[in-house]
Amino acid sequence: MDYKSADDIQLMLTVRDADDHQAFAELVNRYQNILLNYFIRSAVEYDMEDLAQQTFLRLYRYRQNYRPSAKFTTFLFLMARQVWIDELRKRQRRQKLVEELEQQTEPFAAAPAPEDGADARHDVNQALRSLPDKLRQVVVLGVYQELPYAEVSEILGIPVGTVKSRMFNALAKLKDFLLKDQGGKS
């Protein structure tokens, strides 16, 4: 196959059916700058290259779902849009968690230091270490590694609903731990 002269649909079908890495490389070569421009024009202010790379990774991961019923670019830009939406959601979840943890730790920062010089503020990492391993893993992967729940689910071998449940329970336990510590220090 002459990859340079093949159309996008032929290349994507070759990727889908034969797992042809050269065909995929040609698609990446054709659309890398176009995706970067898409993210720039979509007012993405950060990590455009990462979002383009994530789009290509998702394209490859979901290559079996490709059906040539529409233009290849429609399929590609639907994935790119979803990657961007997922990134925004991930950032919002992380920001919400950071804000919640900051609210819980503010009283510790304002508390006077004990006379023995020990830190009056309980470290969030210590609170994280207090969690059972199954809850801690969900927080570490979902918040600190910024992975979507579906990927956390795949990594841990548990359903997405279980990931969500564990995240909820972990955050509640972190909050309780920090509030208990606040009560013990005042």
113: phi then psi, degrees, rounded to nearest 5: -70, 140
Domain range for 158: 111-185
Residues 80 and 120 placed together within one structural domain of the fold: no
pLDDT, tens only, 11-47: 999 999 999 999 999 999 999 999 998 888 777 777 8
- For residue 97, is it within any domain? no
The residue among 164 and 120 whose pLDDT is bigger is 164
Predicted pLDDT at 119:
44
Question: Is residue 157 in a domain?
Answer: yes
The CATH number of whichever domain residue 177 belongs to comes to 1.10.10.10
Residue 68's domain is classified under what CATH number? Answer: 1.10.1740.10
Give the model's pLDDT for residue 13: 96
Q: What is the pLDDT of residue 35?
A: 92
Whether residues 12 and 75 fall in one domain: yes
**Claim to verify: residue 133 and residue 168 sit in the same structural domain:** yes
Shared domain check, 57 and 125 = no
pLDDT number for residue 91:
81
| Range with the largest mean pLDDT of 58-62, 92-96, 132-136, 174-178 | 58-62
pLDDT over threshold 90, residue 123:
no
> Residue 158 — φ and ψ, nearest 5°?
-130, 160
Which residue shows structure tokens 């233009």? 71
Count how many domains the chain has: 2
pLDDT of residue 51: 93
∠ Cα 137 143 146 (to 5°)? 105
Q: Is residue 71 situated within a structural domain?
A: yes
The closest alpha carbon to 26, from 10, 11, 13, 9, belongs to: 11
Quickly count helices (H) and strands (E) in the chain: 8, 0
